Amino acid sequence: MTALGPLTVVSNRLPVVMCQEGPGWKVEPGAGGLVAAMRPILERQGGCWVGWPGAVKEEGGGWEQALAAAGERAGYALEPVVMSRDQYQGYYEGFANSVIWPLFHGFADRCSFVARDFERYQEVNQHFADATMRCVGTQGLVWVHDYHLFEVAARMRDGGHQGRLAFFLHISFPGLENYAKLPWRRELLRGLMAHDLVGFQTARDVRNFVRCAEAFGMCGVLRHEGGQALLVAEDGRQVEAGAFPIGMDFEAFSERASGEEVERRVRDLQDEIGPYRMLLGIDRLDYTKGLIHRLRAYELMLERHPELQEQVVFFQLVVPSRENVVEYKALKREFDRVVGRINGRFSTSGWQPIRYLYNRVDPVELAALYRLAVVALVTPLRDGMNLVAKEYCACQVDENGALVLSEFAGAAAQLGEGAVLVNPYDREATARAIARAVQMDEARRRTRMRQMRQVIAQSDVYWWAERFLEQAQEAPRPGEGFATSAQISVIGPGLGPIAPQP
């Protein structure tokens, strides 16, 4: 990639974890795919990372010097965005996670449309824009990440920024019928159209975005083919939209899974589980993950295939999330209840069909679980990508596992030929798919897993970042006349054009 100079990355959180130790602060490197991808690029090109440091104003300061020192060690600046507790609750817990998250995952009935929360969201996006402008001024490439920060670019344009602005949405983008329910639908679209490049996980997300932007009068369509589109914004700028499926660090996961420490842990896990074949689910506690649907499909599989009873064990790791939110507490209670019922129905003196851990695990334990599992069940009701599916394949160094994957996960677009695809709402079909995956012959299992591993290795997180930045730094090809929504392939029925309100 030919670099144009320093890069500014903007995300909800900084790529570090800050911990108070006595009177001082300790700053440790953050983890995750985004940090892994961005860190080497920023180290090479220089620049700045803008994000929330994890502290609110009411908690006081004292961490600024430690954060600045961490930036000096990293080779790029760390620019903090500090907000009040009220702003954090309205911006993050309120609008971002009680409106955008459920709506964009197809759960409009779970949205809490509170005008004050949107005001807080706008205030915090302005804070992020101001912090970014302090780093980059009116020029320079800026890459904004995810649904927390839809309005940053528009506010930077208002502040006089003339450089290239890019955005990547890590979650899915909803269809028009769902997006139309959002009271602030034009404001968010206008925020996205302030970028030069808007990236999504799949071609379906691109189609949904283009259809919504056109329907609400936010753009004209110059070109739309496959997973790429060229649009004209209200101010006449050309805006590109494209599919850039995010990857993970294939080499790191694969090497860890091949290591001696993981090998030992795999043997110990097998001894703990017993002489059974292990099915695996790994999910954050969230209603989008289809946890209850998965349990009920597994239950039906045991009922319809009694020959698999006392042959398999389903191990479900649930990572705690938003534990103080009422509906998440209710989801955990329901999950516990269903697990107890299924175990009570099928357990024998020496066998229990479900083992369940509500906790976080270290990387070695995670790799061992991935490697031991003969089948991974990745069945979200909706997901932008779902990297668990890719991590499982990366750790399957023996190529002996099978992946049951929801067709509503973004990963299905890349792994569909190797995975066993399911509609997680279809209990009967999902139960059949689980049985099919368990009973798949070894030769076919290896062929399919090898195919998925090759795809994931070739499109890892570093490939994703480089590919996105290459396009973000290039001016789009000229459009060749306008296309209408009728010429755009749209999944599902759609509304007609919606004229902008005066």
Q: Are strands 228-232 and 238-243 parallel, antiparallel or unpaired?
A: antiparallel
Q: Cα dihedral sign for 489, 490, 492, 498?
A: negative
Tokens of 328: 């998440």
Q: Which of 501, 490, 415, 497 is nearest to 450 (CA)?
A: 415
Tokens of 186: 């034009």
Please report, for residues 383, 428, 435, 478, the alpha-carbon distance to residue 431 in angstroms, rounded to integers and kept in the order given: 21, 5, 6, 49
Q: What is the C-alpha R_g of the chain?
A: 23
Torsional class of 274: left (φ above 0), alpha (ψ -120 to 50), beta (otherwise):
left
Sheet of 375-378: strand order equals 354-358, 312-319, 277-284, 375-378, 402-406, 420-422
φ, ψ dihedrals at 379, nearest 5°: -130, 55
411 vs 405: CA distance, rounded Å: 8
84 vs 206: CA distance, rounded Å: 35
> Which residues does the annotation mark as catalytic?
170, 383
| Whether the Cβ atoms of residue 32 and residue 38 lie closer than 8 Å to each other | no
| Whether the Cβ atoms of residue 404 and residue 413 lie closer than 8 Å to each other | no
462 vs 464: CA distance, rounded Å: 5
